[in-house]
Amino acid sequence: MSIEKLLKQMEDYRSRREQRDNRPEWLVDFIKCAAELFEPLTNVGRVGYECQGHERGWTVCMYLGTTEIIGGPKDGQIEHASFSVDLTRLTNLFKKIDRLEWYSVANDKEASFDDATRSVLSVHGCVEDSQDVQLELLHAPPRFVGPGFKLRGVDLTQC
């Protein structure tokens, strides 16, 4: 394949991908502002999210990605990032809050989560132009989401 055809194919793919994004601009801005509030407690983290529109508004789930260790004694281990979120600044993203809830849920039998306990902060309210948003901050990404980073481990037995 020629370089011209490859570049055209990449441009077509990018154009199709941009057309699939049906999120309104105010929601994109809201997500960016909420992502800025995640503060990793150690190392670095990448904020991931999912959005779903429905008849009552939007649901946005956000989380800090995991890191996969490559090589060394922890090879293949997935580490969740510890983080904090300034709740005052988070609530200021809303014009009106209807509910603010925190859940700590044990999931001993549910295979979709790695951890026995999960924690979710849920904020229901209105943002830009009376748009309803349910924002959920997850303690860790859902299982189907791959690691956000890969970290090369060090095998100390080789030194």
The residue among 64, 53, 45 whose CA lies nearest residue 121 is 64
pLDDT (tens digit per residue) in 30-87 = 999 999 999 988 777 788 899 999 998 999 999 987 766 777 776 766 677 788 999 9
Total-model pTM: 0.70
Please state, in angstroms and rounded to a whole number, the distance separating the CA atoms of residues 30 and 5: 37
Name the one residue in this structure whose structure tokens are 């809303």. 94
pLDDT (tens digit per residue) in 10-34 = 777 776 665 567 889 999 999 999 9
CA distances from 140 to 13, 45, 56, 118 (A): 31, 11, 26, 8
